[in-house]
Structure 1
Amino acid sequence: MSATTQVDTPPIILASSSVFRAGLLEQIGLAFTTASPDIDESARDDEPADALACRLAEGKAAKIAREHPEAIVIGSDQVAHVNGRILGKPGTPAKAREQLAFQSGRTVAFHTGVCVIAPAFDTPRVHLETVHTTFRHLSDIEIARYVAAEDVTATAGSMKSEGLGITLVEAIESADPSALVGLPLIAVRRLLAEAGVALP
């Protein structure tokens, strides 16, 4: 990782195994390590999608922070939501095809929660960023070709905007487009600054 953070700041840990989230942090020149939190990502009864994204982001950060209390820990989670339905990680290509067929022609809210826990904070700092993504009307053939070409089995909503998934989309509305990839960098920079990390 590149090292542009100040030497007197605590170590920074990304509580995620996602190469895409790590890539986003590398994009802003952050020195960090990663740790994979193993938490239950199931939704609670009647839990709204945005609340679920924030709870999971905080849960991931909190688990790693307990193991590394001296560190600044960043946790994040994304939940897709459309027409009253939460779309999690499909798990299989068949489920990914079903999710994409359901999203065809619809506008999907991708809720990304981020949490920063730091020695400088009395409590965890949580931020929610929502990206509204309108899908084109997709044919079964287009969906099958996409799922065969790009592994989205571990991606909320079965679409990677940073890859071929952008070809499925008609419009994206967001104050922070990096949130759609999985980590809202504008909010992350602000939260890290509050924790004492100077960027750039």
Structure 2
Amino acid sequence: MPPLQPDASPRLILGSTSRYRRELLERLRLPFAVSAPQVDESPRPDELPAALAQRLALAKARAVAEGLTDDAVVIGSDQVADVDGEPIGKPGTHERAVAQLRRMSGRTIVFQTAVAVVRRSTGFEQAALAPVRVRFRDLRDDEIEHYLRLEQPYDCAGSAKCETLGIALLAAIESDDPTALVGLPLIRTCELLRRAGLDPLNAGSANS
């Protein structure tokens, strides 16, 4: 590989097929490519939700970065709902989504959203966590059914899409990184990108 130039800006890749994460990353006005990571998202025995989210975010970034020959910065992200210390992921089916929302009704749930950045050319690998406390309203079964029929959020951790109608399920959201609940905590992402040498506000001066 030829030596990197001091002013060379690395290629940015989002390791996710989520359109919500893609739309969030577009806010930074950086050119980027999208690549689907191939990662087993099954939790390990007794793995806590926060640890699972960080492990999977890093695994996704590593999976995409592996085999790249150019200077690239790869972002991976994952979100896990924490219910009594148990990781709750994507429901996959209507029945599981109903069960998830019934369980979360009237309760405060922590959504553990993690982001990781990998730059193999420099050996940089870091992950960060942005927990979000979400208080659900007391939900009636007919509200749950109506919401699920309209949104079909079967690919969302905890079955709640706060960026659309899912916001009507909620009573309050507490977070220091306001995009975290949607799936990509941009404050944490910007910090990791700067550490990796890609400053969103000065992308042309990335350090090698």
Which TM-score band (shorter chain)?
over 0.9
Equivalent residue for 2:35? 35
Displaced runs of 4 or more, over 4 A: none
TM-superposed CA distance for 1:199, in Å, is 2.0
**Pairing 1:140-179 to 2, within 5 Å after superposition:** 140-179=141-180
The number of residue pairs the alignment matches comes to 194
TM-superposed CA distance for 1:196, in Å, is 2.1
TM-superposed CA distance for 1:83, in Å, is 2.0
Q: Does the 8 Å CA contact 2:58/2:77 hold for their aligned counterparts?
A: yes
TM-superposed CA distance for 1:198, in Å, is 2.7
Rounded to whole Å, the distance in 2 between the matches of 1:25 and 1:151 is 24
Rounded to whole Å, the distance in 1 between the matches of 2:181 and 2:122 is 27
Equivalent residue for 1:18? 18
Q: Does the 8 Å CA contact 2:105/2:136 hold for their aligned counterparts?
A: yes
TM-superposed CA distance for 1:119, in Å, is 4.2
In our comparison, the structure showing a higher alpha carbon Rg is: 2
TM-score, normalised via structure 1 length: 0.93
Rounded to whole Å, the distance in 2 between the matches of 1:172 and 1:119 is 36
Change (3 A) 1:128 1:56: same
Equivalent residue for 2:4? none
TM-superposed CA distance for 1:121, in Å, is 4.3
TM-score, normalised via structure 2 length: 0.90
**Structure 2: 5+ residue stretches without partners:** 1-6, 202-208
Moved more, 59-68 or 15-24: 59-68
**Structure 1: 5+ residue stretches without partners:** 1-6
What is the DSSP-based 3-state SS (H/G/I as helix, E as strand, rest coil) of the residue aligned with 2:143? helix
**Pairing 1:43-58 to 2, within 5 Å after superposition:** 43-58=43-58
- The percent of aligned pairs where both chains have the same amino acid is 47
Change (3 A) 1:136 1:121: farther
Q: Does the 8 Å CA contact 1:120/1:195 hold for their aligned counterparts?
A: no
TM-superposed CA distance for 1:82, in Å, is 1.3
Change (3 A) 1:88 1:32: same
**Pairing 1:1-200 to 2, within 5 Å after superposition:** 8-69=8-69, 70-119=71-120, 121-200=122-201
Rounded to whole Å, the distance in 1 between the matches of 2:122 and 2:67 is 17
TM-superposed CA distance for 1:60, in Å, is 0.4
Moved more, 186-195 or 171-180: 186-195
